[in-house]
Amino acid sequence: MKNIVVLVSGGGTNLQALIDAEKRGELGPGKISCVISSSPSAYALTRAADNGIRTVTLPKKGVGREEYTHQMVELLKAEKADLVILAGFMVILGEEMAQAFPNAIMNVHPALIPSFCGPGYYGLHVHEAVLAAGVKVTGATIHFVNEVCDGGPIILQGTVPVENDDTPEVLQRRVMENVEWKLLPKAARLFCEGKIHVEGNIAKVY
Ligand code: GAR
């Protein structure tokens, strides 16, 4: 069994996709062992509790980045995390995190990296930027986390069209439904089955 610890900050629809996949036996040897939230009011905590998954709240408010990162690393080590998944986790963690879990932290980003990513590109802001640029295709990326914000090896990507009358909310929903909720559980399974090999900044899936 591989312990998967999921980090959340908000609604937790990606966490729900992981929970549903595990129930269907689609995470292979992966098991969601704990959910950690940066916010005590995140609805994701309710989703976890409703499914009998242990939760921990590590509030970000009032804690500096390096101190918060250190607390998180200690917590993840105590949880014996094999894979850490950032599923709508809205805190940028310091370098200690990637160094403690090299190529063992996954993030879901709601655009096609290397476009529309980096500091300031999170949640609905990403879709607003996509619409403002007038691109005709967008999507989501599952990638490993390294020291560079949204810069680690890309594991899986999927695309959706951008339609003329899209709002950021409509586009977000299309990206989530068609890409994020499908590819995140798939990437978790591939990791737990040892099917992702990283060379430098390139991830190859077998
Ligand atoms: C998702 O769209 C995820 O890709 C995005 O926030 C949303 C969280 O939704 N993450 C980022 O923007 C990280 N940079 P959820 O809480 O319902 O899973």
Beta-carbon contacts of 65 under 8 Å, excluding residues fewer than 6 positions away, are 92, 93, 94
> Considering the chain, what percentage of its residues have pLDDT values greater than 90?
100
Nearest CA owner, ligand 1 atom 12: 122
Structure tokens at 174: 């299309």
If you search the block for the tokens 């916010």, which residue do you land on?
A: 39
CA 10 – CA 179 distance, rounded (Å): 19
CA of 56 to the centre of ligand 1 (A): 19
Closest residue by CA, ligand 1 atom 9 = 88
The pLDDT, as a whole number, for residue 140 is 98
Atom of ligand 1 nearest to the CA of 180: 4
Structure tokens of 10?
A: 């908000």
This prediction's pTM: 0.97
Q: Which pLDDT band holds residue 155 (cuts at 50, 70, 90)? A: very high
Ligand 1 centroid vs 29 CA: distance in angstroms?
A: 25
Residue ranges lining ligand 1, Cβ < 6 Å = 10-14, 87-88, 108-110, 122-123, 126, 176, 180
* 123-138 pLDDT tens trace: 999 999 999 999 999 9
Bridge partners, residue 157, by sequence: 141
Distance CA 67, CA 59 (A): 12
For residue 192, what pLDDT band results from cuts at 50, 70 and 90? very high
- For the chain, the farthest-separated pair of C-alpha atoms sits apart, in whole angstroms, at 49
Q: What is the pLDDT of residues 81-126, one digit of tens each?
A: 999 999 999 999 999 999 999 999 999 999 999 999 999 999 999 9
CA torsion angle 133 138 139 143 (round to 10): -60
Residue nearest to atom 14 of ligand 1 (CA): 122
**Annotation says 109 is catalytic:** yes
